[in-house]
Structure 1
Amino acid sequence: MGPFRLSQFHIEAARNSTDDFNLFHDKNRWNWIRSNPFKGPIALGFQLGCFIETQIERVELSVTFDAVEKRDDYPFSVFEFTFAGVVNPGDELSLEVKPGKLSQTDHGRVYSNRLLLKANGKAVILGFKRESEFCAIDLPEHFPKNIDWGRRADRTFDAASEYFLKRKYMIVGNAKNFLTSAFAEQSDYIDEFADKVRFPQMYPMSLLSSALLERAQAIEHDLIDDPMIYANHKLCIDKRQLSNLSSNDVLNIVVSPEIQESTSDHKVSHICAGYSKENTPLFIAQIVLLPLSALLEKGQK
């Protein structure tokens, strides 16, 4: 397959399937953002994550996985991304995946592949794809407990903790479009003739983008004059729960208040969890954001 040349149609498919209304991806309004350095619309971070996920699946397992190891032996999938650049329409994507390494931790085994995503030969995402015997992200102690999020109103804050709730739904049609936005063959995941529905791991987590944007609107954050960009993602999903999801299943996404990172560039993070049919999270994510203004100041030094 390939070459994988991103078009605005790929970006539109990703935006529409995830309800991501960030102006950075809007072909008509990207220049509303003050001092936007990207000179046009850019691909979604989770869209690129889906490209990474599906390309790793497509490659022969012998290239990225030892013969004695099987991905199904590990109940959790972990993605760790550092964003080093952007992808514009017309850019050509390529992915490098290093041979895997098995390690034993106090909590269980972890199998890791280092990866590098490039656009036109320049680094865009550096990181790891891991298979893990345990959830690699812990919820903070102050994360609200014993709450039936399904009974809470959509787009509301928990008064005691200031955590934000966004309710989404697992829609097969949206997942198909999301796969298409990432150059994946949708019938490998969803095929009505074979009665197969296998959501890609990145799809439910991609709905975080909508949750973060709606939270920003709810607290009256200015998305035009003070936009934020992704700096890092750490994502962990329960593959067993994901395999049991069907179309129209509810996904309750809970987003923490901003957590100030101990750096000088004004980064903030959110701990997020997605709940569907069980009391334990379908996924947990740590999303680190950087103000665009801080990036511009850094570039001027």
Structure 2
Amino acid sequence: MPTSDSSDVFSQIHIDVARNATDDFNLFHDRNRWLRINRNPFNGPIALGFQVESLLEHKVFLHRKLYKENKLIRDKNLRFSNYQFSFVNAVKPGQVVSVDIKPSKFKEDPETILSNRITVKSDGELALLGYKTESKFALFLTIPELPQFGALSQHPDRSFIAGSSFFLKRKYITTSNAKNFLCGSLVDQDAFFDPFKNKVVFPEIFPCSLISSALLEKAVLEKHDFERNPLVYMSHKISIDRSYLTKLKSGEALYILIRQIPPEPKKDGIGSAIESPYHYECYGLMEDKTILYRALISLAPLEQIVNTLK
């Protein structure tokens, strides 16, 4: 069913709030610094990828509630929430964003999943395309290869862990940042937080959105030139464990581990003409090393994208 709303329009203040809540200092979202980006075709700031995904997360939440699918999710123990999206175009301030959710498909063979195909358009043009899926087990990075690091709190923040290729970024989860991120994503924070009822439910995408900050910090350490070689998201593949998300508390540390990995085998479809070495394996770990989420993130140089559009 289409779940669009004519009021779903990002303004620059929404972008600023979302980027401040997540420490995302990417030039693409900055109202002043976007002009510094080499061959920037967007003619202005653009919305954060995770910000748009947060909006569609809430649209799916309303869809599940409308069709009474949460009982099925509980009964079948579909504890993992999975996002698989390709970024087709940018979402700009002032454009009307529409989210179209196709009817849910449930199957139990070979694996129990509840899935929806989703398209996101901005002023009628395709921006995101992919799936939101509930499952018993993580659909991505099913067998994580995490070495024994010892206590993560003992490792320096914003640095490579000695003896490994993993970069570590430590972030502290707060309800205030989560609320601001929701507001920046055009989502009513009352759906997740209610101080009068002692309700604190962190949205799924918020802790995942901190991946952007970690990637940027890693790039700074590696002296990446953000102006001459800007990168944009090509795809996100994320699996979040909701059973651990419910245990997340304000003030807790989240340890984001990132390492660069070889690209996946080339496939037909969106983005197939673009080959990029910027592929990352990402994990969000809680203090006890519980894996809250795992993600495969792909980026491409803006120049390659511009060249494919010629």
TM bucket (normalised to shorter chain) is over 0.9
Q: Is it true that 1:7 corresponds to 2:11 in the alignment?
A: yes
TM-score by length of 2: 0.90
Asked if 2 retains the 8 angstrom alpha-carbon contact of 1:66 and 1:100, the reply is: no
Letter of the aligned partner of 2:291 in structure 1?
P
Aligned to 1:276: 286
Q: Is it true that 1:39 corresponds to 2:43 in the alignment?
A: yes
Q: Aligned-pair distance for 1:161? A: 2.0
Letter of the aligned partner of 1:237 in structure 2?
I
Cα deviation digits, residues 13-72 of structure 1 (max 9, x gap): 111000000000000110100110111000000000000001111236344x65872367
Aligned to 2:274: 265
Aligned to 1:112: 115
For residues 30 and 140 of structure 1, the distance between their equivalents in structure 2, rounded to whole angstroms, comes to 39
Q: Relative to structure 1, is the Cα distance of residues 70 and 111 closer, same or farther in structure 2, using a 3 angstrom cutoff? A: same
Q: Aligned-pair distance for 1:265? A: 2.8
Taking only aligned residues, the RMSD between alpha carbons, in angstroms, comes to 1.9
Aligned to 1:82: 86
Percent identity between the aligned chains?
38
Cα deviation digits, residues 141-188 of structure 1 (max 9, x gap): 754335432221101102322210000011110100100011111111
Aligned to 1:250: 253
Q: Is it true that 1:28 corresponds to 2:37 in the alignment?
A: no
For residues 26 and 69 of structure 2, the distance between their equivalents in structure 1, rounded to whole angstroms, comes to 40
From 145, 157, 160, give the equivalent of 1:157: 160
User: Helix, strand or coil for the counterpart of 1:282?
Assistant: strand
Aligned to 2:63: 59
Which runs of no fewer than 5 residues in structure 2 stay unpaired? 267-272
Matched length: 298
Asked if 2 retains the 8 angstrom alpha-carbon contact of 1:24 and 1:30, the reply is: yes
Large movers: runs of 4+ above 6 Å: none
Q: Relative to structure 1, is the Cα distance of residues 122 and 174 closer, same or farther in structure 2, using a 3 angstrom cutoff? A: same
Q: Relative to structure 1, is the Cα distance of residues 233 and 206 closer, same or farther in structure 2, using a 3 angstrom cutoff? A: same
For residues 74 and 86 of structure 2, the distance between their equivalents in structure 1, rounded to whole angstroms, comes to 23
Q: Relative to structure 1, is the Cα distance of residues 67 and 21 closer, same or farther in structure 2, using a 3 angstrom cutoff? A: closer
Asked if 2 retains the 8 angstrom alpha-carbon contact of 1:142 and 1:161, the reply is: no
User: Helix, strand or coil for the counterpart of 1:70?
Assistant: helix
Q: Is it true that 1:126 corresponds to 2:129 in the alignment?
A: yes
Q: Relative to structure 1, is the Cα distance of residues 105 and 219 closer, same or farther in structure 2, using a 3 angstrom cutoff? A: farther
Letter of the aligned partner of 1:46 in structure 2?
F
